[in-house]
Amino acid sequence: MAKEFLITSAARSAACDAIVDLLDVGTGTEAELVIANASSVTDLVTIGLGATAFGAAATGVATVTTTPATGTATTTGTAARFRLVDQSNTTVAQGNVGTTGTNFTMSISNTSIANNDQVQLTAMTVTVPAGTLT
């Protein structure tokens, strides 16, 4: 028999809000999505997420407040990593970027980003799953 554990919808939303609300703190004006190269050493483009990055979660899903949000690339490189940073530029979460397959958290139309390219954030959600109980 598999282990079973089920989180209520209210608890899922509370957990989700606890994560995304960390983006809305700091000394600056807005959280940012930063796209970087494979080593995360070179930031290629930064996209502002607004003063309140995500709306209140519902059934464990929080959705970014403003889409599309656009950033202009400041250098040329291959996108491979992303960071979600708060208003003080402190990293809250990070992940990988790619174009094909299902192994990437961030799906981008082209990983080859040139200086002055425009990168439009078109969708972003954070989901806390329910788990299972049979």
Partner 1 sequence: MGQDFKIPEPIVAIKALVRDGDGHPKFDDLSKIAEFSHLLTDDDKTYLENKYGKGIFDN
The residue from 8, 42, 51, 68 that contacts partner 1 (CB under 8 A) is 68
The residue from 23, 33, 53, 80 that contacts partner 1 (CB under 8 A) is 33
Q: What is the smallest separation between the CB atom of 79 and partner 1, expressed in angstroms? A: 8
- 36 exposure class (CB count in 10 Å sphere: 0-12, 13-18, 19+): buried
Which amino acid, one-letter code, is at 106?
Answer: M
Q: Is the Cβ–Cβ distance between 88 and 25 less than 8 Å?
A: yes
Our finding on whether 21 is near partner 1 (CB under 8 A) is no
The residue from 9, 19, 31, 56 that contacts partner 1 (CB under 8 A) is 19
Q: What are phi and psi of 110, to 5 degrees?
A: -155, 120
| C-alpha closest to that of 93 among 79, 78, 80, 82 | 82
Our finding on whether 59 is near partner 1 (CB under 8 A) is no
Chain-centre distance for alpha carbon 81: 11
User: Could you tell me how many residues of this chain bind partner 1 (CB under 8 A)?
Assistant: 42
Q: What is the smallest separation between the CB atom of 27 and partner 1, expressed in angstroms? A: 25
The residue from 23, 36, 53, 126 that contacts partner 1 (CB under 8 A) is 126
Our finding on whether 103 is near partner 1 (CB under 8 A) is no
1, 11, 18, 66 from 15: Cα distances, Å: 27, 6, 5, 21
Within a 10 A sphere around the Cβ of 53, how many other Cβ atoms? Answer: 27
Residues that bind partner 1 (CB under 8 A): 3-5, 7, 15-16, 19, 33, 35, 47, 68, 82, 93, 95, 99-100, 105-114, 116-131
